[in-house]
């Protein structure tokens, strides 16, 4: 039996990327992954401790999140460098939605986030992230960074305050300056200075170092600087902990983390109910308390994850669906080991890349380091100063503020500043979830406005050789139903203003690649607008599928596949028009009702246009006959000789004689005079209207 795509080996290998890289794993990969795993472990352990405190949880919950994510991504991750774990933005959102309920609320939120993200991956909803523009993302991350930094100010200064929101936090901090513990403040500020200086070690040029030298000594010095830079958080935490431990006693000068539960967490079901005080809170009540966070936390996590993956893709194709599924698994399985919600971390991913990670196997080393910390180092966590963790968080999130984007947006497109500003201040003043919703709403409104007001370039093409002057209109993109009315009004004005109500109007359809029923009906109305005032209208380079859609509801459309054919048609019509003007036969056309001169009526009804081509050898192709037929029908209708929509046309191939190769195009009407056009043609050339003669 033939395997289906759902159960093929290719599909199985796609969803288990570890199978692919294991086939080519060698010692070079092993060394790179060991170094990157150790480096990332030094970074993720202190960050996990600090991000857990931002969430309002004890530090061990950050470590639970770090180890399970490392192991899951090892198996299901499709990139070599991405790191998933606790982040600053996820932490502030957990604090916002789950702080009042404690750890059980955070763990349940982690599990539900995983369910939502798995569902999004299964039904391929990842494309929705593409509708969130970079200004909105930048405004959100910048506001979140300021919100996180603000939330740590009271911990940095040693104040014990209960605050809500950015504005309230700053008011409370300045209102209680008398409660600042100078020891915590001094230690916190010192840690910020040290962390900032150590971050710049790699970019500092030292006299004893040569960045281009390959000698063992220089390579060793560069490695030392690299590890000091990426391990600065761990180094600062260790030093601050040792200082606090040396000063233990009744007069401890610093505010400490306190007791941290030791050991690896047991695998249990997520908490679908909990006890607060002496009351049992049911699952429905927990969901009600978390509120919109059930949607916003997984959505923001998915958004950050996809954005981080795209940042480090380096132009290579990325399996976004697999990454969404992997993130969902991290959170889903994390709910069974007391994890808090996680997503991709930009700074740790950059360090992982710079450390020389070859495959996701480095996550195994990182996960083992986290488990060892949980097993043996939790007693030491008791002495970590809170102000040190606050300093780490402030230094980490300040890099997330996009300081340069406003100036860049102003240079590129000033209108894009609006969604950035709305998102930024909306997040600061109303909350992160409402701020990003406001930014997305503004972004969508701008897209809808652009769709409803498509740019249409109007220009007047001067007369050249035998081609008369005409008006050309070029829509900037496909015609959708919101922009149909605008396009119709623009063409109507162009036909009357630039076209003076009589010049041919040409619509360049090269950019129109999409249409819908409403827009096709709009094109039909545009054609009828020009027919009512007997003004020629041509569509050039219209896509066949769109032309087919238009002809379903309106067959009378003149479409030219190229501008060369259009020029020949316009030149031929100009010759016909000049001949008519020079003849003694006149036709008086008032609006759309024709009034023929009675004394000339018989002559006009029997008028025959005989058009000779420049080269009279060969035969006319079917496509050429169709273009000539449409052109003459358009012209005769515009001149008012027959009633539009009532005539029928037929290209009589059998009318061609051996010597003349004539093609007769009959345009007849049961109630009006008829004309017939006879033309000598050459099949090797495009239709070329070269001569017109009228009988006396």
* pLDDT tens profile 198-245: 888 877 777 777 767 778 887 888 888 888 887 888 889 999 999 999
The least confident of 110-119, 238-247, 539-548, 682-691 is 682-691
Residues 431, 140: Cα–Cα separation, whole Å: 10
* pLDDT tens profile 24-71: 888 888 888 898 888 888 888 888 988 998 898 988 999 999 999 999
Residues 109, 293: Cα–Cα separation, whole Å: 8
Residues 325, 115: Cα–Cα separation, whole Å: 10
Query: What pLDDT was estimated at residue 355?
Result: 79
Query: What pLDDT was estimated at residue 617?
Result: 39
Predicted confidence (pLDDT) at residue 568 exceeds the cutoff of 90: no
Residues 324-349: b if buried by 16+ CB within 10 A, e if exposed? bbbbbbbbbbbbbbbbbbbbbbbbbb
Task: Cite the DSSP H helix spans in 498-621.
Answer: 517-532, 544-553, 563-582, 601-605
Predicted confidence (pLDDT) at residue 558 exceeds the cutoff of 80: yes
Q: Which residue has the tokens 């916002």?
A: 96
End-to-end CA distance of the chain: 80
Q: What are phi and psi of 594, to 5 degrees?
A: -95, 135
C-alpha to C-alpha distances, 479 to 491, 511, 627, nearest whole angstrom: 13, 9, 25
What's the chain's average pLDDT? 79
More confident residue, 557 or 286: 286
Q: 9: pLDDT confidence band, cut at 50, 70 and 90?
A: low
Query: What pLDDT was estimated at residue 650?
Result: 35
Query: What pLDDT was estimated at residue 372?
Result: 93
| Percent of the chain whose pLDDT exceeds 90 | 26
Query: What pLDDT was estimated at residue 7?
Result: 61
Q: 331: pLDDT confidence band, cut at 50, 70 and 90?
A: very high
SS3 state of residue 161: coil
DSSP code, position 339: P
């Amino acid at each position: 039996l033939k395997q289906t795509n759902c159960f093929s080996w290719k599909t199985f290998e796609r969803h288990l990327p570890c199978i692919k890289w294991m086939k080519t794993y060698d010692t070079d990969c092993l060394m790179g992954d060991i170094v990157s795993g150790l480096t990332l472990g030094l970074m993720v352990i202190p960050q996990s401790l600090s991000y857990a405190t931002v969430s309002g949880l004890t530090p061990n919950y950050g470590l639970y999140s770090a180890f399970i994510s490392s192991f899951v991504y090892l198996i299901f991750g499709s990139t070599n460098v991405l790191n998933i774990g606790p982040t600053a933005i996820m932490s502030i959102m957990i604090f916002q939605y789950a702080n009042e309920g404690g750890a059980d609320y955070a763990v349940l939120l982690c599990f539900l986030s995983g369910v939502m993200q798995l569902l999004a991956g299964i039904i391929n909803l990842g494309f929705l992230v593409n509708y969130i523009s970079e200004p909105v993302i930048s405004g959100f991350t910048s506001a979140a960074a300021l919100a996180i930094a603000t939330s740590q100010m009271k911990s940095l200064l040693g104040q014990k305050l209960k605050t809500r929101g950015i504005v309230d936090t700053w008011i409370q901090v300045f209102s209680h300056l008398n409660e600042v513990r100078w020891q915590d403040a001094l230690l916190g500020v010192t840690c910020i200075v040290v962390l900032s200086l150590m971050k710049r070690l790699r970019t500092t040029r030292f006299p004893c170092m040569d960045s281009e030298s390959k000698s063992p000594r220089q390579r060793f010095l560069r490695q030392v600087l690299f590890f000091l830079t990426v391990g600065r958080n761990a180094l600062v935490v260790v030093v601050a902990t040792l200082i606090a431990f040396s000063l233990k006693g009744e007069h401890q000068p610093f505010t400490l983390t306190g007791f941290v539960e030791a050991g690896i967490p047991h695998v249990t079901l997520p908490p679908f109910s909990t006890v607060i005080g002496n009351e049992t809170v049911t699952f429905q009540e927990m969901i009600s308390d978390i509120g919109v966070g059930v949607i916003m936390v997984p959505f923001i996590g998915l958004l950050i994850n996809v954005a981080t993956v795209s940042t480090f893709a380096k132009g290579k194709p990325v399996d976004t669906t697999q990454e969404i599924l992997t993130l969902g698994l991290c959170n889903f399985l994390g709910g069974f080991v007391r994890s808090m919600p996680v997503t991709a971390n930009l700074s740790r991913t950059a360090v992982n890349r710079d450390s020389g990670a070859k495959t996701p196997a480095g996550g195994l080393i990182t996960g083992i380091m986290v488990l060892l910390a949980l097993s043996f180092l939790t007693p030491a966590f008791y002495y970590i100063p809170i102000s040190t963790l606050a300093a780490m968080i402030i230094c980490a999130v300040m890099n997330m503020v996009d300081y340069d984007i406003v100036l860049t947006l102003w240079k590129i497109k000033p209108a894009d500043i609006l969604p950035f500003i709305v998102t930024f201040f909306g997040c600061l003043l109303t909350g992160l979830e409402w701020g990003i919703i406001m930014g997305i709403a503004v972004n969508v409104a701008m897209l809808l406005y652009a769709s409803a007001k498509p740019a249409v370039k109007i220009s007047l093409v001067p007369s050249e050789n035998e081609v008369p002057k005409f008006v050309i209109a070029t829509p900037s993109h496909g015609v959708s139903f919101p922009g149909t009315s605008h396009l119709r009004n623009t063409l109507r004005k162009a036909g009357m203003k630039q076209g003076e109500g009589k010049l041919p109007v040409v619509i360049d359809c090269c950019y129109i690649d999409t249409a819908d029923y409403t827009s096709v009906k709009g094109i039909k109305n545009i054609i009828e607008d020009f027919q009512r005032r007997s003004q020629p209208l041509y569509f050039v380079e219209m896509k066949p599928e769109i032309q087919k859609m238009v002809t379903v509801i309106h067959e009378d459309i003149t479409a030219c596949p190229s501008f060369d054919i259009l020029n020949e048609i316009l030149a031929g019509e100009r010759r016909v028009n000049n001949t008519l003007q020079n003849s003694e036969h006149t036709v008086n056309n008032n609006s759309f009702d024709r009034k023929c001169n009675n004394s000339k009526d018989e002559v006009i009804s029997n008028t025959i246009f005989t058009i000779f081509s420049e080269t009279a050898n060969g035969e006319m192709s079917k496509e050429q006959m169709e273009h000539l037929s449409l052109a003459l029908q358009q012209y005769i209708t515009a001149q008012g000789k027959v009633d539009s929509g009532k005539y029928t046309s037929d290209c009589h191939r059998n009318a061609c004689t051996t010597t003349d190769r004539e093609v007769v195009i009959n345009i007849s009407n049961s109630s009006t005079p008829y004309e017939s056009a006879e033309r000598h043609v050459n099949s090797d050339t495009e239709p070329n209207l070269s001569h017109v003669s009228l009988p006396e």
